């Protein structure tokens, strides 16, 4: 099973088991989550089946994630890094999980998930792939239930990086931002902390907490200019078409060929 196979399978799973395993955190058992939108009665019933089932031959219909480090505390939740598997003792894939607990943060995380889904469906590359938004079932899916947004791992942030950013990375980030704009989305938080690279040399734009849909050409151009300024890249502005040497402006301000004007005067 390849990494892509694992991600494809995970996208179809409605149940998530999360284990904390770093620092002072070592959960005795997993926290259970269900994909947002799945009927709560079905979720509670299947969550019970997870703990009651002793038959090792039964197919596992969940994905398991072990969170082993905290990446950052964002404006809409805490981002963790972990390893995900969809089959017992099967291959694992590195993922990022953003957890939200307050009502405000959960609402913002749900909006961020919708934006990821919109961009993923529009074929935007250079951003994390959303594997789903999940609701904790340990609180019966009530108001106190935490949310978990599961995404593919995007690498290490460029913020604080001492090495010079490669031209290929800069070009990739600018291209990704323009692709995001083409999908009708403004990022809303252009800064180095939201640009990441992997060991394979891939570049990603992350954290759409402040993003929103917009078709404003001015706002798009402003974001591209901000990104280019941060990366030290020259902004490509459309060049004005050169005016032919044999043209002049008439009394109405319209440019006309001097040759045509001379011919008219002769007639």
* Residue-by-residue DSSP string for 60-118: P-EEEEEEEEEEEEETTEEEEEEEEESSTT---EEEEEEEE-SHHHHHHHHHHHHHHHH
Alpha carbons 32 and 44: distance in angstroms, whole number: 10
Per-residue pLDDT, 47:
57
| Dihedral in degrees, nearest 10, Cα atoms 52, 54, 56, 61 | 0
For residue 126, the model assigns a pLDDT of 97
- Which residues make Cβ contacts (< 8 Å) with residue 139, sequence separation at least 6? 145, 146
pLDDT of 148: 96
- What tens digit of pLDDT does each residue of 98-121 get? 999 999 999 999 999 999 999 999
Q: Which residue has the tokens 């609180």?
A: 139
> Residue 256: pLDDT band by 50, 70, 90 thresholds?
very low
Residue-level pLDDT at 178: 98
Direct distance between the N- and C-terminal alpha carbons of the chain, in angstroms, rounded to an integer = 82
> What phi, psi does 107 have (nearest 5°)?
-65, -40
Q: Is the pLDDT of residue 266 over 70?
A: no
What pLDDT is stored for residue 21 in this prediction?
Answer: 84
The per-residue pLDDT for range 59-96, each reduced to its tens digit, is 547 999 999 988 877 667 889 999 999 988 889 999 99
**CA triple 121-174-170, angle to 5 deg:** 125
Q: What is the pLDDT of residues 205-228, one digit of tens each?
A: 999 999 999 999 999 999 999 999
Beta-bridge partner residues of 96: 81, 151
What is the distance between the alpha carbons of residues 179 and 166, in angstroms, rounded to a whole number? 20
Q: Residue 40's pLDDT is what?
A: 55
Domains for the chain: give ranges and CATH numbers: 3-152 (3.30.200.20), 156-231 (1.10.510.10)
Q: Is the pLDDT of residue 15 over 80?
A: yes
| Contact indicator for 189, 219 with CB cutoff of 8 Å | no
Between 200 and 239, the higher pLDDT residue: 200
Instruction: Quote the pLDDT of residue 257.
Output: 47
Let me know if 134 is exposed, middle or buried by CB neighbors in 10 A (0-12, 13-18, 19+): buried
Handedness of CA 76, 114, 35, 154 (dihedral sign): negative
Return the pLDDT at 26: 72
Specify the pLDDT at position 65. Answer: 96
Q: List pLDDT tens digits, range 123-179.
A: 999 999 999 999 998 765 566 889 999 999 999 999 988 889 999 999 999 999 999
The pLDDT of residue 250 is 45
Entry pTM: 0.79
Residue 231 has which token pair? 């990366």
Torsion of CA 41, 42, 43, 46, to 10 degrees: 130
What would the pLDDT profile of 18-63 be if each residue is shown by its tens digit?
Answer: 998 876 667 778 999 999 987 455 555 655 665 555 545 555 479 9
State the CB neighbour count (10 A cutoff) for residue 17.
18
Per-residue model confidence (pLDDT) at position 239: 57
Cβ density class 182-221: b for 16+ within 10 Å, e for less: ebebbbebbeeebbbbeeeeebbbbbbbebeeeeeeeebe
């Amino acid at each position: 099973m390849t990494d892509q196979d694992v991600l494809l399978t995970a996208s179809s799973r409605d149940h998530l088991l999360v284990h904390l395993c770093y620092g002072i955190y070592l959960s005795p058992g997993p926290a259970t989550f269900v994909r947002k939108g799945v009927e709560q009665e079905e979720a509670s019933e299947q969550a019970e089946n997870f703990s009651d089932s002793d038959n090792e031959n039964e197919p596992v219909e969940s994905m398991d994630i072990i969170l082993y480090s905290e990446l950052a505390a964002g404006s809409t939740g805490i981002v963790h890094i972990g390893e995900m598997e969809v089959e017992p003792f099967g291959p694992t894939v590195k993922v990022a999980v953003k957890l939200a607990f307050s009502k405000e943060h959960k609402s913002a995380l749900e909006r961020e998930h919708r934006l990821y889904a919109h961009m993923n469906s529009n074929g935007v590359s250079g951003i994390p792939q959303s594997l789903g938004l999940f609701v904790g079932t340990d609180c019966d899916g009530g108001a106190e239930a935490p949310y978990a947004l599961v995404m593919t791992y995007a690498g290490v942030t460029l913020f604080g990086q001492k090495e010079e950013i490669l031209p290929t990375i800069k070009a990739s980030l600018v291209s990704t931002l323009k692709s995001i704009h083409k999908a009708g989305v403004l990022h809303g938080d252009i800064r180095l902390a939201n640009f990441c690279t992997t060991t394979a040399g891939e570049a990603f734009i992350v954290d759409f907490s402040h993003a929103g849909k917009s078709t404003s050409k001015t706002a798009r151009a402003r974001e591209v200019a901000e990104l280019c300024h941060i990366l030290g890249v020259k902004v490509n502005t459309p060049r004005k078409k050169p005016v032919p040497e044999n043209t002049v402006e008439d009394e109405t301000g319209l440019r006309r060929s001097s040759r045509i004007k001379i011919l008219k005067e002769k007639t």
